[in-house]
A and B are shown apart, each in its own frame.
Chain A
Amino acid sequence: AQKITQTQPGMFVQEKEAVTLDCTYDTSDQSYGLFWYKQPSSGEMIFLIYQGSYDEQNATEGRYSLNFQKARKSANLVISASQLGDSAMYFCAMREGPGNTPLVFGKGTRLSVIA
């Protein structure tokens, strides 16, 4: 079974609108971390936001927020006020266990922002 599932291969959003990118995960660990990365066409992986499994509040970083629903095992990324520069691939990833364990990535969602 896939550990990270991103069901939206591609999404379109109008500039200045909000968009939600879906991510569900599968783990039996109690301690884990969830990440979202942005990958523009240049190829670098840009860290956006992190949510720990024990964090009670949803994470926020500027225009990015993570809608964490632990019982449903979902960790959706919300981007508010979309900008043309937000057009990129977005990957959801999970680290099982505490500390420096490897990341498991989903297949990604390609977001296109339309003017």
Chain B
Amino acid sequence: EAGVAQSPRYKIIEKRQSVAFWCNPISGHATLYWYQQILGQGPKLLIQFQNNGVVDDSQLPKDRFSAERLKGVDSTLKIQPAKLEDSAVYLCASSLAGLAGWEQFFGPGTRLTVL
């Protein structure tokens, strides 16, 4: 069974530019999460989707970050415009829905460097 796929693996941009990350969850997983992991810290949730609906985006900086999961499968996270403090690893994870979704499966992450 294929795992969670993310692309690109690495991205370097200058501040004020825009960037987009893509995530394809494990087939059949209704729940998708985006986490931000700043160097030296643990991951922090940005947004959680259930199918194509947003469950929790309370920690998403909505003035510059946006995310969508239009068909309830793959998802895109966008930053526009990027700031230096957005340099981090962006991790996508997926799980089954409901009680069966106790375990999250993580993708390899996208490492973003903002210069």
- Mark A residues whose CB is within 8 Å of B: 4, 33, 37, 42-45, 47, 50, 52, 91, 93, 95, 98-100, 102-108
Tell me, rounded to whole Å, the shortest Cβ–Cβ distance linking A53 to chain B: 12
Q: How many residues of B contact A (CB 8 A)?
A: 31
Q: Are B45 and A103 in contact (CB under 8 A)?
A: yes
Tell me, rounded to whole Å, the shortest Cβ–Cβ distance linking B9 to chain A: 9
With A93-B42, A99-B98, A100-B31 known as contacts, the answer to whether A44 contacts B48 (CB < 8 A) is no
In the bound complex, what is the Cα–Cα distance between A102 and B42 (angstroms)?
A: 13
Q: Are B42 and A106 in contact (CB under 8 A)?
A: yes
- Mark B residues whose CB is within 8 Å of A: 31, 33, 35, 40-45, 48, 50, 56, 89, 91, 93, 95-109, 111
Task: For B111, give its contact among A43, A47, A98 (CB under 8 Å).
Answer: A43
Tell me, rounded to whole Å, the shortest Cβ–Cβ distance linking B113 to chain A: 13
In the bound complex, what is the Cα–Cα distance between A94 and B40 (angstroms)?
A: 19
Q: Are A100 and B101 in contact (CB under 8 A)?
A: yes
Q: Are B40 and A99 in contact (CB under 8 A)?
A: no
Considering the complex, give the chain A residue whose CB is closest to the CB of B56.
A102
A contact residues around B95 at 8 Å (CB): 100
Q: Are A95 and B42 in contact (CB under 8 A)?
A: no
Tell me, rounded to whole Å, the shortest Cβ–Cβ distance linking B3 to chain A: 9
In the bound complex, what is the Cα–Cα distance between A47 and B40 (angstroms)?
A: 19
In the bound complex, what is the Cα–Cα distance between A105 and B45 (angstroms)?
A: 9
Q: Are B102 and A50 in contact (CB under 8 A)?
A: yes
A-B contact pairs, 7 of them (CB 8 A): A43-B89, A44-B109, A45-B93, A47-B103, A100-B101, A100-B102, A100-B104
B contact residues around A104 at 8 Å (CB): 45
Supply 6 further A-B pairs (C-beta < 8 A) apart from A33-B102, A98-B102, A100-B96. A42-B108, A91-B42, A100-B31, A100-B50, A102-B56, A108-B42
Tell me, rounded to whole Å, the shortest Cβ–Cβ distance linking A104 to chain B: 8
Considering the complex, give the chain A residue whose CB is closest to the CB of B47.
A102
